[in-house]
Amino acid sequence: MPLLVDYESSSDSAGEDDIPKADPSPSVRRTANINNSLPKSKRRKLSGFGVSSSSSPSSTPSEVPPSAKPKTLKPGQLEGDWLCHAFIKVPISNDLRECLDPIINALSSLQDLEVTTSGETTSELDSKLKRENNSLKGGPQSAPSELHISLTRPILIRAHERNEFRTLVENALEGRNRFQIHFARLTTLINDDASRLFFVLEVGTGWEELHNLSTALNKPLHAAFRARSYYTEARYHASIASIPLPPSNNTITQAEAEAQAHKLDDLHARAFSRCPAFVAETVGIRVGAQLSTITLL
């Protein structure tokens, strides 16, 4: 039985992140120069919430005590909903920080850049929550204190389902072994409604192991919560920063950001190749503001 440790930082039911989009060919896992030639129409975008279109939100009265209810309800969220997801925790080693600091500093010149502070924000709901709580002050930026690699889409559940979500994730990943992950390149991904562009570190080594974990979670989460499966051809990644994509100049902003990411990837490719792989040994389970962890064998 994997070790489960629970950290409850607050009772807010609004939670963190999930996932910019996800879709590579197997060769993406081995090279840093793929995907640039793909037409934009082929690029999959990610949704904000992991609920199947055939499902509908529960209309039962909120079961969350008044003090635990979300302060602000966002589109698609009902009073009493809890935003959940599972992810691999990425430790920030000195080597990784040395790679990230110059990249973050270079990106800080972009207007409205939001640097990831702990984990990643992907859905519009999460991005908005993050902006409310962590507005950028300007000036030189440093690497995030923590990064995440998502294993599930964000899922909205009711208060009485919180323990069930944790138990399902724990049981699905029981007996799984730790493994090594190495980031292959810096690239960009966009969420489903094209409201934000994310600067991400895309996984090279460790892709298959991550795919096995997310696949193990798909069936039980769909059966229990009608959650949509994680992306079939997933591009596993850790988000380091993001910018909004204003509807008025979406294409221009996206092109400029992608060009900046490509330039920085070329500039720091050698440093990334020398940055040691890290051991993926901790799975985080986020339920609103509550965090549990599973230690892999």
pLDDT band at 205 (very low <50, low <70, confident <90, very high): very high
Per-residue model confidence (pLDDT) at position 4: 46
Dihedrals phi, psi of 56, to nearest 5 degrees: -130, 150
In this prediction, residues 130-152 reach a mean pLDDT of 66
Residue 190: CA count within 13 A, CB half-sphere:
20
Which residue did the predictor score with more confidence, 9 or 239?
239
Q: How many helices (H) and strands (E) does the chain have?
A: 5, 12
In this prediction, residues 238-253 reach a mean pLDDT of 89
The answer to pTM > 0.75 is no
Q: What residues are paired with 148 via a beta bridge?
A: 89
pLDDT band at 281 (very low <50, low <70, confident <90, very high): very high
* Nearest residue to 99 (alpha-carbon basis) of 183, 207, 179: 183
Structural domains in the chain, sorted by start: 3-35+43-295 (3.90.1140.10)
Which amino acid appears at position 206 of this protein?
G
Is the predicted pLDDT of residue 231 greater than 60, yes or no?
A: yes
pLDDT band at 111 (very low <50, low <70, confident <90, very high): confident
pLDDT band at 192 (very low <50, low <70, confident <90, very high): confident
In this prediction, residues 161-169 reach a mean pLDDT of 97
* Pairing status of strand 179-181 against strand 183-190: unpaired
Per-residue model confidence (pLDDT) at position 177: 98
Is the predicted pLDDT of residue 20 greater than 80, yes or no?
A: no
In this prediction, residues 272-290 reach a mean pLDDT of 94
Is the predicted pLDDT of residue 102 greater than 90, yes or no?
A: yes
Is the predicted pLDDT of residue 9 greater than 70, yes or no?
A: no
Per-residue model confidence (pLDDT) at position 187: 95
